[in-house]
Amino acid sequence: MKTCNFVLSGLGGQGILFMTKILAQTALNKGYNILGAETHGMAQRGGSVVSHLKIGDAGSSLIRAGAGDFLISMDAAEAYRFLPWVRPGGMVFVNGSNDRFPDERVTPFLAEHHITCFAMEAGKTALELGAPRSTNLAMVAFFSAFGQGPLEAEALRTTVEAASPDSVKQINLKIFDVCHDEGRKLC
Amino acid sequence: MHKLLQDSPGEKIMLLGNEAIARGAVEAGVAFATTYPGTPSSEISLNLFQMSRETDLYFEYSTNEKVALEVAAAAANSGLRTFCMMKHVGINVAADPLMTLAYVGVTAGMVILSADDPAMFSSQNEQDNRYYAKFGGLPMLEPSSVAEAKDMIKAAFDLSETLKQPVLLRTTTRINHSNAFVTFGEITPRKTKGHFVRDPQRCVTVPAVSRGLHVKLLEKLQKAGQLSETSAFNLIQGEGPLGIIANGVSFYYAADAVKDLGLEDRAKILRMGFSNPMPEKMIKDFLAGCERVLVVEEGEPFMEEAVKAFAQEVGIVIPIKGKSDDLFSRLFEYDPAMVREKMAAFFNVAYTPGPAVDTSDIPEIPMRPPNLCSGCSHRATFYEIKQAAKDMDVICPTDIGCYTLGFLPPLSTGDFVICMGSSVSSSCGFSKATDQKVVSFIGDSTFFHSGITGLVNAVFNNHNFTLVILENDITAMTGHQPHPGVDMELFGLSGHGRINIEKLVRALGVQHVSVIKPFKVQKSIDTIKEALAFKGVSVIISQEPCALYTKSLKLKTARPFVVSSKCVDHKDCITTIACPSFYLDADNRVAIDANTCVGCAVCAQICPENAIRPLKK
């Protein structure tokens, strides 16, 4: 299998590492190899955070600029920051408003590189459903709706179910389903 | 049961590099572990701390790295397998015992882990600690992957016992903070009680003894060199006239590059995993079959200089290159694309890099640095100091911790930081060398780590400054580890002592000591003014638990605040304290995010219009 490269971005405290774990564990369940690289430390204090995840057989964990298949971002500004990591023809999924993302200042870049963008207010949805901290898995669910890459929606949902503590399991699954359905509408 | 304690050999599990290292230590039968936390090493000790609560593994958060190494040295000389881990600059603190422990050696396996941080993701410098191995005469191993890190630590304990010498295991952030699948091995049973056998001719380092010990150290190094020649960690991959020598993560970057450039039939890579002493004969043989050699290593030209010296000894005059203006830098970390580009240039291979990402038509995204959290008490203290000292010409030495972030605007409080504890000692220097007022900052954990000696110096030498000790009851920056001033009952642990900072400071003879509660703004400002007016050493202890930790323990119920209609929109709150809970709403007016506001009420106290009020439930 050709390596599938995920770039996950956002701000410290938003659970980028948990999002990475959901994707990586799902890959393991399906028998794929993974390699990931994270930022820790100071970055946890609200700074820009990025996580690289390679699914498939790779030696080195870092994804070079222009080689990411998917960019999933918890924050619009952090999506713009990591756009150069997306390969031509790659896809961007962002927690933000479809009316405001992508900004017209980057549309020429996106068009030139055939990069497609999908936005959903996952944070708002997670908040309305009572678990604002589950925005990270809401974004995984949104991504899963598009059927892209080696990880299917059902497999990702199973990982979310297994990884969620009992106290928030039902609400997390509800968020997953709602956000998955939101994504389906854009397909 | 802790996931790293599971006795399930063969199980495949995804682990962070640091978790893999902790598991490796458990598999090696480690019985005794000490540390002072520091990124990128912190999760190793965190996992050992957690596991120690379920088993008879002894683990302690020591006061600083020097203490941690000395505590560990005793255990390793009492027959226990001992693990001491720290970040790279921690080794500087521990360097004094390290250099002489190398003479004394150990009676049971001892591994000292140095977590280096190329590119300084979370550090004040990017020193290359491989030189400590050379400097002290210690054997050193360096893993290239997460899975290898787990296996290497086991090998490091065996090596240590063979040589009766502590072994340095050197990692970099890309190993510590990478995720990968790791296969669990067998867990060696721990031996948790040792016995110290007196051996003054080895353990009491008076000059007459040490002269003999240095001789023995060189003998051990020679034996280590022989082991390095046959170590499976020094391996050659591929064959051909183009030579590559690499270590750590650079090995995989180099291996990927060889493949990408189609050099599989022409290039061979020597991966150095046992890198002090280097396998001299193996390297010389490797060089003999090469037309040119590229050395790929982050940091300093540690291997490159040694390889060139070996080449000189056997009269090999091929080009051997690594660090140079047109090849690799001594700065920051490497990445796969960069290694491929430099390799192509050095071996003169036609290489068309993938279409370069031209970002010239994307507007520049402003940097988003880390910030003090919503409701962080440090923000309140910095604001109050600024208010109290607003008419003074002030120098603010600060220290290593979350509060270093106070140097960012708009708080802009922080003028000088070099290492842990330097806030206090540098204040001594500034107060003598200038006529400026000196107000310095240090966190509680850092004060215990290395601030106390500076304060003793200040009292003894009668210096003139105000030290603010930010007592937030936890080691916050590295992920909420305990320190000697912490109530260990909060961790569910009994039997620990607890040092009271105020009593300690008074006992040191500081004449002017005051305590503030930083969320009481005006009262704090008044107290600070008194302390600033005192001539001599004054200490202000600012007491308020870390907001993030309090939140995680659910110790307080947040009562968020809102901006009322009394707001006249001058945005003073944003421009003076810049709490991240503020945002501008659709009408460009200040609003407060109720999900992140913890209800510290500092903004409410500084708003001239009293426009910030608690949110009515």
The mean per-residue pLDDT over the stretch B187-203 comes to 97
Burial class (CB in 10 A: 0-12, 13-18, 19+), B422: buried
> At B354, is the pLDDT very low, low, confident or very high (cuts 50, 70, 90)?
low
- The answer to whether residues B461 and B496 belong to one domain is yes
- The answer to whether residues B200 and B254 belong to one domain is no
Chain A interface includes B367 (CB < 8 A): yes
| C-alpha pair distances (Å), A43 with each of A10, A141, B196, B590 | 10, 25, 44, 26
Distance separating alpha carbons of residues B312 and B289, to the nearest angstrom:
15
Contact between B438 and B427 under an 8 Å Cβ cutoff? The reply is yes
pLDDT at B256 over 60: yes
CATH of the domain at B412: 3.40.50.970
State which residues form the domain around B475: 377-552
Contact between A68 and A33 under an 8 Å Cβ cutoff? The reply is no
- The answer to whether residues B496 and B593 belong to one domain is no
Could A36 and B179 be called an inter-chain contact, meaning their C-beta atoms sit closer than 8 Å?
A: yes
Chain B interface includes A130 (CB < 8 A): no
- Residue B353: what pLDDT? 74
- Residue B412: what pLDDT? 96
- Residue A41: what pLDDT? 55
- Single out the residue of B555, B543, B568 nearest to residue B599, CA to CA: B555
A15-46 confidence digits (pLDDT tens): 898 999 999 999 999 999 999 998 765 556 77
B542-558 confidence digits (pLDDT tens): 999 999 898 888 777 77
- For residue B365, which residues of chain A lie inside 8 Å, CB to CB? 77, 80-81
- The answer to whether residues B158 and B255 belong to one domain is no
Please give the DSSP secondary-structure letter assigned to residue B324.
S
Measured between its terminal Cα atoms, the distance across chain B in Å is 41
Chain A interface includes B369 (CB < 8 A): yes
B304-338: burial string, b at 16+ Cβ within 10 Å, e else = bebbbebbeeeebeeebbbbeeeebeeeebbbbbb
Contact between B417 and B433 under an 8 Å Cβ cutoff? The reply is no
Distance separating alpha carbons of residues B353 and B336, to the nearest angstrom:
12
Q: Work out the mean pLDDT of chain B and round it to a whole number.
A: 96
Burial class (CB in 10 A: 0-12, 13-18, 19+), B502: middle
Q: Which of A109-113, A162-166, B327-331, B353-357 has the least mean pLDDT?
A: B353-357
What is the per-residue DSSP string for B273-289?
SEEES--HHHHHHHHHT
Chain A interface includes B594 (CB < 8 A): no
- The answer to whether residues B600 and B580 belong to one domain is yes
- Single out the residue of A24, A3, A54 nearest to residue A140, CA to CA: A24
Strands B561-563 and B612-614: antiparallel
Distance separating alpha carbons of residues B603 and B611, to the nearest angstrom:
10
A4-186 is classed in which CATH architecture? 3-Layer(aba) Sandwich (3.40)
Q: Which of A146-160, B183-197, B349-363, B561-575 has the least mean pLDDT?
A: B349-363
| Single pTM value for the model | 0.95
Q: Which pair of structure tokens corresponds to residue B273?
A: 């995993």
Distance separating alpha carbons of residues A37 and B145, to the nearest angstrom:
11
Q: Is residue B369 part of a domain?
A: no
| C-alpha pair distances (Å), B197 with each of B70, B201, B472 | 17, 12, 43
Q: How many CB atoms lie within 10 A of CB A88?
A: 12
B24-83 confidence digits (pLDDT tens): 999 999 999 999 999 999 999 999 999 999 999 999 999 999 999 999 999 999 999 999
Residue type at A64? R
Chain B interface includes A37 (CB < 8 A): yes
Higher pLDDT among residues A131 and B158, named by residue: B158
Interface test with A, best of B148, B359, B368 (most A CBs within 10 A): B368
Measured between its terminal Cα atoms, the distance across chain A in Å is 25
Domain boundary among B227, B256, B286: B227
- Single out the residue of B566, B181, B97, B209 nearest to residue A55, CA to CA: B181
Query: What's the angle, vertex CA B118, arms to CA B113 and CA B123, rounded to 5?
Result: 80
- Single out the residue of B285, B422, B376, B401 nearest to residue B580, CA to CA: B376
- The answer to whether residues B489 and B416 belong to one domain is yes
Q: Which of A77-81, B164-168, B483-487, B553-557 has the least mean pLDDT?
A: B553-557
Task: Compute the nearest-CA separation of B193 from chain A (Å).
Answer: 35
Q: Which of A41, A48, A64 sits opposite B122 (nearest CB)?
A: A41
The HSE-up count of residue B310 (CA atoms within 13 Å, CB side) is: 20
pLDDT at B447 over 90: yes
The mean per-residue pLDDT over the stretch B426-447 comes to 98
Q: Which helix (H) or strand (E) holds B382?
A: helix B377-388
Q: Which of B193-207, B400-414, B453-467, B541-555 has the least mean pLDDT?
A: B541-555
- Single out the residue of B274, B185, B234 nearest to residue B4, CA to CA: B185
- The answer to whether residues B524 and B570 belong to one domain is no
- Residue B511: what pLDDT? 97
- For residue A23, which residues of chain B lie inside 8 Å, CB to CB? none
- Residue B479: what pLDDT? 87
B565-590: burial string, b at 16+ Cβ within 10 Å, e else = eebeeeeebeebbbbbbbeeeeeeeb
For residue A17, the chain B residue with the least C-alpha distance is B179
The mean per-residue pLDDT over the stretch B448-458 comes to 98
- Residue B556: what pLDDT? 74
Distance separating alpha carbons of residues A126 and A183, to the nearest angstrom:
14
For residue A43, the chain B residue with the least C-alpha distance is B370
Chain B interface includes A165 (CB < 8 A): no
Q: Which pair of structure tokens corresponds to residue B246?
A: 């690499």
Task: Compute the nearest-CA separation of B582 from chain A (Å).
Answer: 13
Distance separating alpha carbons of residues B337 and B164, to the nearest angstrom:
42
Q: Which pair of structure tokens corresponds to residue B403?
A: 């509060």
The maximal CA–CA distance of chain B, rounded, in angstroms, is 83
- Single out the residue of B69, B71, B79 nearest to residue B108, CA to CA: B79
A60-82: burial string, b at 16+ Cβ within 10 Å, e else = bbbbbbbbbbbbbbbbbbbbbbb
Task: Compute the nearest-CA separation of A160 from chain B (Å).
Answer: 16
- Residue A53: what pLDDT? 96
The mean per-residue pLDDT over the stretch A70-88 comes to 95
What is the per-residue DSSP string for chain A?
---EEEEEEEETTS-HHHHHHHHHHHHHHTT--EEEE---GGGGTT-EEEEEEEESS-S--PPPTT-EEEEEESSHHHHHHTGGGEEEEEEEEEES-TTTSS-TTTHHHHHHTT-EEEEE-HHHHHHHTT-GGGHHHHHHHHHHTT--SS--HHHHHHHHHHHS-HHHHHHHHHHHHHHHHHHHHH-
Structural Rg of chain A based on CA atoms? 15
- Residue B362: what pLDDT? 79
Could B359 and A109 be called an inter-chain contact, meaning their C-beta atoms sit closer than 8 Å?
A: yes
Chain A interface includes B570 (CB < 8 A): no
Could B370 and A42 be called an inter-chain contact, meaning their C-beta atoms sit closer than 8 Å?
A: yes
Interface test with B, best of A45, A75, A82 (most B CBs within 10 A): A45
Could A60 and B367 be called an inter-chain contact, meaning their C-beta atoms sit closer than 8 Å?
A: no
Number of domains within chain B: 4
Strands B320-321 and B292-296: parallel
The mean per-residue pLDDT over the stretch B113-133 comes to 96
pLDDT at B530 over 70: yes
> At B355, is the pLDDT very low, low, confident or very high (cuts 50, 70, 90)?
low
- Residue B352: what pLDDT? 80
Interface test with A, best of B12, B14, B47, B176 (most A CBs within 10 A): B14
Q: What percent of the residues of chain B are helix, what percent strand, and what percent coil, each to the nearest 5? A: 40, 20, 45
Strands B234-238 and B267-272: antiparallel
- For residue A132, which residues of chain B lie inside 8 Å, CB to CB? 595
- The answer to whether residues B97 and B181 belong to one domain is yes
Q: Which pair of structure tokens corresponds to residue B414?
A: 């922080």
Contact between A2 and B81 under an 8 Å Cβ cutoff? The reply is no
- Residue B463: what pLDDT? 98
> At B366, is the pLDDT very low, low, confident or very high (cuts 50, 70, 90)?
confident
- The ipTM estimated for the assembled molecules is 0.89
Q: Is residue B7 part of a domain?
A: yes
Distance separating alpha carbons of residues A110 and B327, to the nearest angstrom:
33
- The answer to whether residues B150 and B89 belong to one domain is yes
Distance separating alpha carbons of residues B238 and B268, to the nearest angstrom:
4
- The answer to whether residues B29 and B177 belong to one domain is yes
Chain B interface includes A6 (CB < 8 A): no
Sequence-ordered strand ranges (E) for B152-202: 167-172, 178-183
- The alpha carbon of residue B81 and the mean position of all alpha carbons in its chain are separated, in whole angstroms, by 23
- Residue A14: what pLDDT? 87
- Single out the residue of B231, B319, B224 nearest to residue B272, CA to CA: B231
pLDDT at B367 over 90: no
- Single out the residue of B398, B504, B427, B373 nearest to residue B63, CA to CA: B504
Residue type at B33? A
For residue A38, the chain B residue with the least C-alpha distance is B177
- Adjacent-strand bridge partners of A91: A70, A116
Could B336 and A64 be called an inter-chain contact, meaning their C-beta atoms sit closer than 8 Å?
A: yes
- For residue B477, which residues of chain A lie inside 8 Å, CB to CB? 41-42, 45
Residue type at B481? Q
Q: Is B237 helix (H, G, I), strand (E, B) or coil?
A: strand
Query: What's the angle, vertex CA A94, arms to CA A90 and CA B477, rounded to 5?
Result: 110
Distance separating alpha carbons of residues A89 and A70, to the nearest angstrom:
10
CATH of the domain at B244: 3.40.50.920
Q: Which of A65-69, B430-434, B496-500 has the least mean pLDDT?
A: A65-69
Chain B interface includes A38 (CB < 8 A): yes
Chain A interface includes B183 (CB < 8 A): no
The mean per-residue pLDDT over the stretch B97-123 comes to 97
Q: How many CB atoms lie within 10 A of CB B288?
A: 12
Could A42 and B39 be called an inter-chain contact, meaning their C-beta atoms sit closer than 8 Å?
A: yes
Q: Which helix (H) or strand (E) holds B163?
A: helix B146-163
Distance separating alpha carbons of residues B372 and B551, to the nearest angstrom:
15
Q: Which of A45, A109, A112 sits opposite B370 (nearest CB)?
A: A45
